[in-house]
Amino acid sequence: MIELLKGDITTLEVDAIVNAANTSLLGGGGVDGAIHKAAGPELLMECRQFKGCPTGMAKITQGYRLPAKFVIHTVGPVWRDGKSQEPELLESCYKASLQLALDFKFQSIAFPSISTGAYGFPKEIAAEIAISAVKAHLDKYANPSQVFFVAFDDDNYKLYKQKLHI
């Protein structure tokens, strides 16, 4: 049910990839910029209609030029001190994304490491939250039947491999 991949999330042929977006949903750096670039200008046009997204929530768009049919955009928290609801908000990102996957009856979804780049969330804590949220969802629901964690770099890949015991 849970798989770990190393590579570029924009190349995956899944029902949905998750975008670690900013509150504007209008593109940015890191995975957000890569997804917008790979999906094409239509993604930006659809995202403009939302007029943003609050931290911890998620919105869904078409995948356009991506192999993935849909993109679930979720806004992770910026790490401050760990005492400003960052862990709860990050968990909410995963829950909200998985709820959309359930609502749309997706069989497969791929997650990047949310908030660990420019937003500075400690990678180890973020991985624990991500894995815990996904496992809790899969304990309750059959969908999605495949969940991928996609690590772009060696550090995240090794960390998730260790945390997933694979």
Residue 9 DSSP code: G
- The DSSP H or E segment spanning 97 is helix 86-103
Torsion of CA 105, 7, 3, 71, to 10 degrees: -10
Q: Per the omega criterion (within 30 degrees of 0), is the bond before 77 cis? A: no
Domains and CATH numbers, the chain: 2-164 (3.40.220.10)
Instruction: Give 7's Cβ-side CA count (13 Å radius).
Output: 10
What's the full length of the chain, in residues?
Answer: 166
Residue in this structure with the two tokens 């998730």, named with its chain if needed: 160
Spot the catalytic one: 32, 103, 153, 154: 32
Helices (H) and strands (E) in the chain, counts: 5, 6
How many other CB atoms sit within 10 Å of the CB of residue 104?
Answer: 16
> Would residue 32 show up in a list of annotated catalytic residues for this protein?
yes
pLDDT at 160 over 90: yes
Q: What is the pLDDT of residues 38-85, one digit of tens each?
A: 999 999 999 999 999 999 999 999 999 999 999 999 999 999 999 999
How far is Cα of residue 54 from the mean position of the Cα atoms in its chain?
15
Distance from C-alpha of 137 to C-alpha of 129, rounded to nearest angstrom: 12
Please give the biggest Cα pair distance in the chain. Answer: 41
Per-residue pLDDT at 166:
85
Per-residue pLDDT at 151:
97
